[in-house]
Amino acid sequence: MRCGRRGTDALGASVHAPAPAGVEGDTLDAHEMKAFSRILLTGGGTAGHVNPALAIGRALGDDRTAYLFVGVRGRAEADVVPREGIDLRFVRASPYPGARPSPAWIAFLFDALAGTLRAIAIIRSFKPELIIGTGGFAAAPTMFAAAILRRLHLARARIYVHEQNAAPGKLNLLIGRLADRVFVSFPETLGAFPANGVLAGYPLRGRIEATDREAARAALGFDVPPGRQVVFVFGGSQGSRTINRALVDALRSFLPHKDRLFIIHGTGLCRAESGYDAEGDTRERLEGQYSGEERREIDSFYVARPYFHEIEQVYALADLVVVRAGAGTLNEVASLGLPAIVVPKVNLPGEHQVMNARALASAGGATVLYEETRHEHGAAAEFLDGTVLGEAILSLLGDPARLRDMGAANRAFIRGDALETIRRVIAGEGGPPGDGGGASGGGGRRRGEPLLDNEALLYALEHRRASTLPAGVPRPQQPAEHDYHYYAARAASMLANPAWETRNLGVKLLGLLEAREKVPLIIALLDDRRPAPWYKRALGGDFEQVGFIRRNALTAVARIGVVTPDVERVLETALSDPYYEARAEACRSVTALDRHLSEAGRARLIAGLVGLLHDRWVEVAAAAAEALGHVGGEADAMPALLAMRDCKRWTVRAAALRGIHALVDRGRAGDLDALERDVRAFALTATDFRPEFSIRTSYARLIRAIGSKRSGK
């Protein structure tokens, strides 16, 4: 919709003519007013929040409507909103720092208070009829201010919220309870807003519609040679580090096809405090990986820009897109019938990007590539293999029939008109909350099988067999086999999380999933000996990868059952780990992997186990004694175990007897008559009388085993 002739009100809001009289009260006579005169929009941080707000605002107003957008300086709204002819005001706001206490909470609380006070002043001055919020941390101060003013009867504006994703954000969950209506894109989200939820779908920008291909080619600021297959790659308004880097890596595979394809790359606007500059990092990677001659060849089929404000022109040229799985992006792509390669960001709230991607893939309109995790520069980091991305792009471009089928599937994926549903409900023309208003945008009915969250996945995998559960407790739902690759990728990505609890859960899941391809990542984690910060060391900590993580990483290696020279090396190192539970778990892991050990590795591990028989921790010494019985022999293990006969700690003596028992069962005990004489020297006293000493039970079992072995039974 055109902005018309602009003026400004006292606050500087976009005004197009004298506004019609406002509407008082909580109801609106649709026959008296078809458009609203003063609309305040908020939502931001990324274009995925900004664009729905702009689309809804345009649908509710006309050329006489005064608009004002409230956001945060330096984010997507600062670049996008002014280009729409709408005035913009800034408030302070910071992303939610997470539940764990951290210095970021100080800035978060200060920004929340200062931003809310500023937003109160803006609302009081602008006097909007409607306040539309679309989520994101940038919307928080304005929505809090609106709720406060409403509660104090200092503002009469009606409050509406739109939630784009299946899993509602924290802000929308909180403000949604106070809003007049909450519009949602997916049916599943209605459960979060039972009193005022309305299924509307995703509001697409008015200009996202089919555009003439040749007109779009002429309008772009660069040349796209006719006859080329065009691939549009972008990771949202801020960009995606993994997609950007993978595309640069993939360019080499496109060189032989430079005359038949053209790559348009939206790197993103991100210039984060962490140091990632989306445009600069992409340029540096390109210059670092390709020679001058190769870059000249690449320039003939590749162009990069931080952001495309007239994105509909690029869509019009595209034969294939590579995108993240935000609800806005996928709905735009689907509405235009564009085949897609989707790279969802995992471990987001409710796994909404993964669910969005799965919905489009199950409809037949997308191929999904998951990010992987690898160890680089001393830490775990997410990445997308450029070779895999290049192969996926070339495979689809080489199959025109499949591209046509994917495009048709995407066009069928979008149903209804979300903006019309929203307009009718706000104007009082729609049905009651929860009836869906006649729209099912976003493909909400094609969500596919539900995904287990991390805690539910852990519980399910730990209880694969009903025998692990108390009587009468049903076996939990198990993950679908075809989702194991996704779950493994999700668990691996957790190893890059700064919270040790999350990394600990990730390594547990990798073991339970038996993710063989992730063993190198687990080894890198065990190799990580970066010291913990001084304040953690003062409280007994040692390394960044805390003892619990190292212990569970060893358990994961044992469960997966893959032995390489690197696995043998980390096991040997773990036998001298400063954390006693890690040393004990290393002993048990050696036992579990016994059949796969090399002879050289076995010898080194046996030497380490012998040294642990005198560990100051009883649990460690006992685990070493039992492990020696499973991996050692008459010459290297038996003498050390027999020497424990007078050990002051009865639990270690009992473990030594069990170790000797294992040697007998394996036929590695040597002269059984001599052995029987030697074991009679073991002290069989203990402090665990129950009514019998468990060490005596171990001794009796060993004597019976010696007799059975001697008689050949």
- Given a contact cutoff of 8 angstroms between Cβ atoms, the answer to whether 336 and 210 are in contact is yes
Task: Give the domain CATH number at 95.
Answer: 3.40.50.2000
pLDDT of residue 207: 66
pLDDT of residue 467: 67
pLDDT of residue 688: 62
Tens of pLDDT, residues 636-665: 999 999 999 989 999 999 999 999 999 999
CB atoms under 10 Å from CB of 131, counted, come to 30
Rounded alpha-carbon distances, angstroms, from residue 4 to 18, 86, 464: 13, 11, 64
**What residue has token string 């994101």?**
136
pLDDT of residue 440: 39
The residue-averaged pLDDT of 277-295 equals: 93
- Looking at this protein, which amino acid is placed at residue 311? I
User: How many angstroms separate the CA atoms of 552 and 152, rounded?
Assistant: 53
Average pLDDT, the chain: 86
Residues 78 and 187 in one domain: yes
Residues 239 and 168 in one domain: no
- Provide the pLDDT confidence category of residue 9 given band limits of 50, 70 and 90: very low
Examine residue 668 and state whether it is found in any structural domain, yes or no: no
pLDDT of residue 102: 76
Tens of pLDDT, residues 119-134: 999 999 999 999 999 9
Smallest CA-to-CA distance from 490 within 373, 353, 355 is with 373
- Asked if pLDDT for residue 101 goes beyond 80, the answer is no
- Given a contact cutoff of 8 angstroms between Cβ atoms, the answer to whether 433 and 198 are in contact is yes
**Structure-block tokens of residue 659:** 């170790």
Smallest CA-to-CA distance from 489 within 327, 347, 392, 348 is with 347
Examine residue 460 and state whether it is found in any structural domain, yes or no: no
- Provide the pLDDT confidence category of residue 475 given band limits of 50, 70 and 90: confident
Residues 423 and 396 in one domain: no
- Asked if pLDDT for residue 30 goes beyond 50, the answer is no
The residue-averaged pLDDT of 106-122 equals: 94
Residues 67 and 190 in one domain: yes
Question: pTM of the entire structure?
Answer: 0.74
Tens of pLDDT, residues 193-218: 999 999 988 888 766 777 788 888 88
Q: What is the 3-state secondary structure (H, E, C) of 526-544?
A: HHCCCECCHHHHHCCCCEC
Partners of 7 in the beta sheet? 15
Tens of pLDDT, residues 296-317: 999 999 999 998 888 889 999 9
Residues 253 and 397 in one domain: yes
The residue-averaged pLDDT of 474-481 equals: 87
- Asked if pLDDT for residue 19 goes beyond 80, the answer is no
Residues 95 and 196 in one domain: yes
- Looking at this protein, which amino acid is placed at residue 703? I
Examine residue 310 and state whether it is found in any structural domain, yes or no: yes
Question: Which has the minimum average pLDDT: 377-386, 440-449, 450-459, 612-621?
Answer: 440-449
Smallest CA-to-CA distance from 463 within 447, 477, 448, 483 is with 477
Examine residue 90 and state whether it is found in any structural domain, yes or no: yes
Ramachandran angles phi, psi of 229, nearest 5°: -80, 130
As a whole-number percent, the residues of the chain with pLDDT over 70 amount to 89
Cα of 566 vs its chain's centroid, Å: 28
Examine residue 149 and state whether it is found in any structural domain, yes or no: yes
Domain that holds residue 92: 7-201+418-443
Examine residue 464 and state whether it is found in any structural domain, yes or no: no
Residues 125 and 59 in one domain: yes
pLDDT of residue 244: 96
Ramachandran angles phi, psi of 140, nearest 5°: -60, -50
- Asked if pLDDT for residue 230 goes beyond 50, the answer is yes
DSSP 261: E
Cα of 615 vs its chain's centroid, Å: 41
Examine residue 537 and state whether it is found in any structural domain, yes or no: no
Task: State whether residue 31 is helix, strand or coil.
Answer: coil
Total structural domains in the chain? 2
Cα of 392 vs its chain's centroid, Å: 22
Tens of pLDDT, residues 583-596: 999 999 999 999 99
Examine residue 533 and state whether it is found in any structural domain, yes or no: no
Give 7 or 248, the one with higher predicted confidence.
248
Rounded alpha-carbon distances, angstroms, from residue 387 to 284, 370, 459: 19, 13, 35
Tens of pLDDT, residues 135-183: 888 899 999 999 999 999 999 999 999 998 877 877 888 888 889 999 9
Question: Which has the minimum average pLDDT: 267-271, 617-621, 706-710?
Answer: 706-710
pLDDT of residue 473: 78
The most confident of 173-177, 322-326, 691-695, by mean pLDDT:
322-326
CB atoms under 10 Å from CB of 471, counted, come to 5
- Asked if pLDDT for residue 1 goes beyond 70, the answer is no
Rounded alpha-carbon distances, angstroms, from residue 358 to 13, 223, 317, 370, 485: 41, 35, 25, 11, 13
User: How many angstroms separate the CA atoms of 477 and 490, rounded?
Assistant: 18
Question: Which has the minimum average pLDDT: 30-39, 256-265, 369-378?
Answer: 30-39
pLDDT of residue 22: 35
The residue-averaged pLDDT of 226-233 equals: 95
